[in-house]
Amino acid sequence: MTDLSAAAPALPAPRQKPSLLAPSARMRRRNAAEARFRLYGLAAIALALATLAIMLFTILRDGVSSFTQASLSFPVELSAETLDPKGNRNPAELSKVTTIGYGKVLTAALLAEVERRGIATDLSDKDISALISKDAPGTLRAQVLADPTLIGTTIDATVFAAGRIDGFLKGRVTLESAERDSNISPEQLRLAQQLVDAGMLTSAFNWSFLTNPDASDQRPEAAGLGVAILGSLYMMVLVLILCVPVGIAASIYLEEFAPKNRWTDAIEVNISNLAAVPSIVFGILGLAIFINFAGLPQSSSVVGALVLSLMTLPTIIIATRAAIRAVPPSIRDAALGVGASKMQTVFHHVLPLAMPGILTGTILGLASALGETAPLLLIGMVAFVDNYPSLPPEGILDPATALPVQVYSWASRSDPAFIERSNGAIIVLLVFLVVMNVAAILLRRRFERRW
Amino acid sequence: MSVLMTLAAVAVLALASFVLSRQRALASAGGNPRLMHSLPGYYGWNGAISVLAPALAALLVWLLAQPMVIEARISAALPVGMVADPAARELAMADIRRVADGLDTAVAAGALSLDQAAALTAADARATLGEVGVALGAEVSDATLSAARDYRATSAWGAALRTILVLAVAVAGLIWAVSRSHKDFRARNSVERVVLGLLIAASSIAVLTTVGIIWSMVSETFDFFSKYPAKDFFFSLTWSPNFRGGSELGILPLIWGTLYITVISMLVAVPIGLFAAIYLAEYASRRTRAWVKPLIEIIAGIPTVVFGIFALVTVGPALRDWFAEPLGLGNSGSSVMTAGIVIGILNIPFISSLSDDIINAVPQSLRDGSYGLGATRSETVKQVILPAALPGIVGAILMAASRAIGETMIVVMGAGAAAKLSLNPFEAMTTMTVKIVGQLTGDTDFASPETLVAFALGMTLFVITLCLNIFALWIVRKYREQYE
């Protein structure tokens, strides 16, 4: 090279002799980078778990209270004059008295009880009666119609308190928030406090949250999950019936019999793609084919089950194929060696041995189907349903709703009491999911075999 | 005979065929199963299948064909005015069906005798049917009533014929199967062929589902484009559907919202998921891993509607109160940021478990070589493991992106419903999935472009996610390092 002058000063400065005992500056930097990197990993895990914890915590915090419910108990005189004007206890005559009539009976009874206990209040009678849930007259009417001998007696009725009063007992509604609320006044809350002190207004575990059907916007306290749980149950059973045989049959064919050709390749590619199709697309499919084309009724659990089955099928096929593949070839060879046919080998030996794995995959697939919401919105399961579907087989054509859909439809209502119900519904849903997942884990632990 | 009764009869015949075929085959071998070609049970099964398969096929074909044939006949007999165009024909047929069903209900409920049903005049049809709980919208015209009577008569006649045909086929199958049952008959092969056919049919359902998805969306999408210009759909910047007509249905604001939310969700999910995977694969002790990995995967098992509530009740208001309002960026609880962050959280386990598998697949020898040269663990991860695992990780990220694009409940509850082209992440925007739900729930009219647009949106969504997935698989396959 010609440019000698440039090369000469490029000689490195004499390096410090590295010591094994004292780390050099560079080594310290590298070690610091190492520590930082490790910390990022820890932070990422901590962040993910913290978010999970926060989410579960907020759901529990907001939702647990939906399992208790404030109710008013007071003696109600079911006077024969108002409830059975003709006095002949004829069910047809009795049912002519509407819930308005029963509402008046309840109001009168509550006013009388408040007066008897000497609870002083300057509220109007109408404001006092607003403490009773709008659902209560209907419940009382059903009770009387079921047992007409009650008429003329005085019963100790326990009826739901209105949603705002329930919220007051749970701390959601306060005297301050009542100032701004047109549905309740601070005076009513003070009266409620007096009733609590007098032991008339109490909070207790709320079974009706699990059994009642949905209720209208005005009556959050009466809304329950009965129809949703039933609908989800119907759908899960149907998915099990529709999906599992087909999934297992498809897996057996693909794993044991399928020749390597274009058709089986197409099937394989299809299954892996179907597993990645957004769930809402399955909803469009259900709407277009099962409802518009095949004419099945909207919001029915059978349509929901068909859609969920198509969605779950790839999951079940993938799990089943893995389970079948895990059965060692020696089993097949032994069976074939003693003269079993290919079909006998599969059905008598491979399938029973793969069963635990298949069951585990099936339960996990069902669990994900149970939590699916979006496709069910499109096939009309978000509609307001307050009648229980009848028993199968006709019941699968009745309108129903599903647990996750109920969560969504409650969350989109305006009354904050429904957010509490929505979180309560999530707790129920999560309990079901935990049970299913634990079952899958136990099944795997109990029957898993290493070859 | 009702369909259910017919099925029961066929089942009884199948059972009989099972027993008879098995006995005959055994008898032909003199009661010694060892002289038979197949185990005795196979002869029985062959008998049962010979009854069931043709009978069920005949029943199915008949059930599908009968309504079509009858409707064609009835509508041919209707006055020309009622069947002027397909829509009117559909309406007229619906009326006829309803009246016919009403007559059936009335007869079944005992409100009408068969003779009375035949003599019912158009004038009092509505009132009579109303009494048994069959509500009819308008007065019944004479033509409709006579057509409905005709419909009932033909249907009843068809049902009788169906039962006869199905039972005849079943009996023929029984006779054929029993006559074939002989010790030399290869019953096992014949049964196994049927079982194999069933297995093939089951595995074809996956393909049928895809065909169904594409068919259901393509036909409606074409219908939409015949009512609304495709150019406006793909290039218009406004989305303002109006069920009274004159709506603008440009997809661009929706695509923008979708992509914006997806990008934010990936900004959350990729770093957290990837670092979590690296830590679990390279740093964590076996015990920690056994605990933490399932815990993270719990996130993947939680239904998305729960995340939706989390976005709606917790994340949205928190972001609004702590960031958007103090920064003056808006006052909406539902925003791109809310939905993006929550979808990001949902995708963490997806990315972390996929990446974890991929990182674990990198052979130990590469790590040992790097450590041998004096690299620290993080240097090994950054310079050896990640480059080796990159195609797989990119594939995982693309799949997660496709999930984010197709995610519905979180955006429905957390992103808002206003279609906007805006850069502000704290503003409510909307996505394709939200609009699919919006346009298809509630009362829908499948003739208006405002409803049909949902199918075009679904088609777009399907194509985008499918392309992303295929691309992801292609990357993984093409750039996969082959070790060993």
Higher pLDDT, B82 or A284: A284
Q: Are residues B332 and B473 in the same domain?
A: yes
| CA atoms of A89 and A143, how far apart (whole Å) | 14
| CA atoms of B83 and B76, how far apart (whole Å) | 9
Q: Which tokens sit at A98?
A: 């509407």
Average pLDDT (B285-297) is: 91
Q: Does the pLDDT at position A85 exceed 90?
A: no
Nearest CB to B275; choose among A40, A250, A272: A40
- Asked if B381 is an interface residue toward chain A (Cβ–Cβ < 8 A), one would say yes
Please provide the average confidence, as pLDDT, over all residues in chain B.
86
> Chains A and B: how many Cβ contacts under 8 Å?
251
**Amino acid B402: pLDDT:** 93
Q: Is residue B378 part of a domain?
A: yes
Confidence of residue B113 (pLDDT cuts 50, 70, 90): low
Confidence of residue B385 (pLDDT cuts 50, 70, 90): very high
Per-window interface: B 272-291 vs A, CB < 8 A? 272-276, 278-280, 283
Q: Does the pLDDT at position B287 exceed 70?
A: yes
Mark yes or no for CB contact A43/B275 under 8 Å.
yes
Determine if residue B140 is left, alpha or beta; phi over 0 gives left, psi from -120 to 50 gives alpha, anything else beta: beta
Q: Are residues B176 and B245 in the same domain?
A: no
Average pLDDT (A316-344) is: 93
What are the counts of helices (DSSP H) followed by strands (DSSP E) for chain B?
A: 20, 2
Q: Which tokens sit at B101?
A: 């069903």
Per-window interface: A 365-394 vs B, CB < 8 A? 367-368, 370-374, 377-378, 380, 382
CATH 1.10.3720.10 assigned to domain A226-447? The reply is: yes
Q: Is the dihedral of CA B437, B439, B440, B442 positive or negative?
A: positive
Distance from CA of B4 to the nearest CA of A (A): 12
Q: Is residue B196 part of a domain?
A: no
Give the domain extent around B384. Answer: 239-479
Query: Do the Cβ atoms of B299 and B346 come closer than 8 Å?
Result: yes
Note the pTM of the prediction, 2 decimals.
0.86
Average pLDDT (A293-321) is: 90
The total of structural domains in chain B comes to 2
Alpha-carbon torsion angle A77, A78, A81, A84, nearest 10: 180
Question: What's chain B's length in residues?
Answer: 484
Burial category of B222 from C-beta neighbours within 10 Å (exposed 0-12, middle 13-18, buried 19 and up): middle
Q: Give the number of C-alpha atoms closer than 13 A to the C-alpha of residue B33, restricted to the C-beta side.
A: 9
Burial category of A6 from C-beta neighbours within 10 Å (exposed 0-12, middle 13-18, buried 19 and up): exposed
**Amino acid A246: pLDDT:** 93
Alpha helix positions (H), A198-261:
208-211, 226-252
Contacts within 8 Å (CB) and 24+ apart, A146-153: A148/A84, A148/A89, A148/A91, A148/A94, A149/A89, A150/A78, A151/A78, A151/A80, A151/A83, A151/A84, A151/A89, A151/A94, A152/A78, A152/A79, A152/A80, A153/A77, A153/A78
Determine if residue B392 is left, alpha or beta; phi over 0 gives left, psi from -120 to 50 gives alpha, anything else beta: alpha
**Amino acid B101: pLDDT:** 76
| CA atoms of A364 and A156, how far apart (whole Å) | 47
- Asked if A155 is an interface residue toward chain B (Cβ–Cβ < 8 A), one would say no
Query: Do the Cβ atoms of B98 and B138 come closer than 8 Å?
Result: no
Mark yes or no for CB contact B276/A254 under 8 Å.
no
Provide the angle, in degrees to the nearest 10, between the axes of the packed helices B386-406 and B252-278: 140
Q: Are residues B315 and B436 in the same domain?
A: yes
What DSSP element (H or E) covers B393?
helix B386-406
Query: Do the Cβ atoms of A110 and A129 come closer than 8 Å?
Result: yes
- Asked if B458 is an interface residue toward chain A (Cβ–Cβ < 8 A), one would say yes
Burial category of B70 from C-beta neighbours within 10 Å (exposed 0-12, middle 13-18, buried 19 and up): middle
Q: Are residues B175 and B286 in the same domain?
A: no
Burial category of B357 from C-beta neighbours within 10 Å (exposed 0-12, middle 13-18, buried 19 and up): middle
Mark yes or no for CB contact B303/A282 under 8 Å.
no
Q: Does the pLDDT at position B408 exceed 50?
A: yes
**Amino acid B275: pLDDT:** 95
Q: Does the pLDDT at position A415 exceed 60?
A: yes
Q: Which tokens sit at A448?
A: 């898993």
Distance from CA of B283 to the nearest CA of A (A): 8
How much is the ipTM here? 0.87
Q: Encode pLDDT of A106-120 as tens digits.
A: 888 888 888 888 777
Q: Is residue B272 part of a domain?
A: yes
Nearest CB to B436; choose among A280, A423, A426: A280
Q: Encode pLDDT of B266-282 as tens digits.
A: 999 999 999 999 999 99
| CA atoms of B448 and B227, how far apart (whole Å) | 8
Higher pLDDT, B95 or A425: A425
Confidence of residue B197 (pLDDT cuts 50, 70, 90): very high
**Amino acid B482: pLDDT:** 64
**Amino acid B267: pLDDT:** 95
- Domain ends where: B185, B209, B231? B185
**Amino acid A12: pLDDT:** 60
Query: Do the Cβ atoms of A223 and A166 come closer than 8 Å?
Result: no
Distance from CA of B483 to the nearest CA of A (A): 23
In chain B, which residue's Cα lies nearest the Cα of A381? Answer: B441
Q: Is residue B100 part of a domain?
A: yes
Query: Do the Cβ atoms of B55 and B201 come closer than 8 Å?
Result: no
Residue B143 CA from chain centroid, whole number = 40
Mark yes or no for CB contact A371/B271 under 8 Å.
no
**Amino acid A11: pLDDT:** 58
Q: Does the pLDDT at position B202 exceed 70?
A: yes
| CA atoms of B116 and B113, how far apart (whole Å) | 5
**Amino acid B110: pLDDT:** 67
Q: What DSSP designation does A399 have?
A: B
- Asked if A422 is an interface residue toward chain B (Cβ–Cβ < 8 A), one would say yes
Q: Are residues B359 and B289 in the same domain?
A: yes
Distance from CA of B77 to the nearest CA of A (A): 24
Confidence of residue B139 (pLDDT cuts 50, 70, 90): low
Max CA separation in chain A (angstroms): 127
Task: Supply φ then ψ for residue A118, to 5 degrees.
Answer: 70, 30
Q: Which of A92-101, A266-275, B8-17, B99-108 has the highest mean pLDDT?
A: B8-17
Cis peptide before A393 (omega within 30 of 0): yes
Q: Encode pLDDT of A14-68 as tens digits.
A: 666 667 778 888 889 999 999 999 999 999 999 999 999 999 999 999 888 888 8
Mark yes or no for CB contact A34/B378 under 8 Å.
yes
Q: Which tokens sit at A107?
A: 């109001």
Across A167-294, where does the E strand assignment appear? 201-205
Average pLDDT (B471-476) is: 87
Higher pLDDT, B331 or A402: A402
Mark yes or no for CB contact B407/A408 under 8 Å.
no
Please provide the average confidence, as pLDDT, over all residues in chain A.
85
| CA atoms of A346 and A190, how far apart (whole Å) | 73
CB contacts, 8 Å: A47 with chain B: 272
Per-window interface: A 91-120 vs B, CB < 8 A? none
Average pLDDT (A70-91) is: 79
- Asked if B161 is an interface residue toward chain A (Cβ–Cβ < 8 A), one would say no
Determine if residue A199 is left, alpha or beta; phi over 0 gives left, psi from -120 to 50 gives alpha, anything else beta: left
Mark yes or no for CB contact B433/A368 under 8 Å.
no
| CA atoms of A216 and A370, how far apart (whole Å) | 25
**Amino acid B56: pLDDT:** 92
Confidence of residue A1 (pLDDT cuts 50, 70, 90): very low
Query: Do the Cβ atoms of B146 and B35 come closer than 8 Å?
Result: no
Higher pLDDT, A8 or A376: A376
Residues whose CB is less than 8 angstroms from the CB of residue B42 and which lie 6 or more positions away in sequence, other chains included: B187, B188, B191
Q: CATH 1.10.3720.10 region(s) of chain A?
A: 226-447
Selection from B338, B306, B341 nearest residue B319 by Cα: B338
| Residue indicated by tokens 């560079």 | A26
CB contacts, 8 Å: A429 with chain B: 303, 306
Q: Which tokens sit at B276?
A: 């979590």
Q: Does the pLDDT at position A5 exceed 70?
A: no
- Asked if A60 is an interface residue toward chain B (Cβ–Cβ < 8 A), one would say no
Q: Which tokens sit at A346?
A: 């599969």
Least confident of A43-47, A367-371, B421-425, B458-462: B421-425
Task: Supply φ then ψ for residue A263, to 5 degrees.
Answer: -65, -45
Q: Are residues B56 and B144 in the same domain?
A: yes
In chain A, which residue's Cα lies nearest the Cα of B442? Answer: A380
Higher pLDDT, A197 or A375: A375
Across A50-136, where does the E strand assignment appear? 68-77
Nearest CB to B440; choose among A33, A287, A373: A287
Q: Is residue B29 part of a domain?
A: yes
Percent with pLDDT over 90 in chain B = 41
β-strand partners of A204: A69
Confidence of residue A223 (pLDDT cuts 50, 70, 90): confident
Query: Do the Cβ atoms of B412 and B308 come closer than 8 Å?
Result: yes
Residue B373 CA from chain centroid, whole number = 54
- Asked if A236 is an interface residue toward chain B (Cβ–Cβ < 8 A), one would say no
CB contacts, 8 Å: B216 with chain A: 284-285, 287-289, 293
Percent with pLDDT over 90 in chain A = 35
Average pLDDT (B415-438) is: 87
Average pLDDT (B193-219) is: 89
CB contacts, 8 Å: B312 with chain A: 411
Confidence of residue A370 (pLDDT cuts 50, 70, 90): very high
Q: Does the pLDDT at position B205 exceed 50?
A: yes
In chain B, which residue's Cα lies nearest the Cα of A369? Answer: B303
Q: Encode pLDDT of A242-295 as tens digits.
A: 999 999 999 999 999 988 888 888 888 888 888 889 999 999 999 888 888 888
| CA atoms of A126 and A269, how far apart (whole Å) | 67
**Amino acid B125: pLDDT:** 66
Nearest CB to B295; choose among A49, A272, A310: A49
| CA atoms of B341 and B261, how far apart (whole Å) | 8
- Asked if A438 is an interface residue toward chain B (Cβ–Cβ < 8 A), one would say no
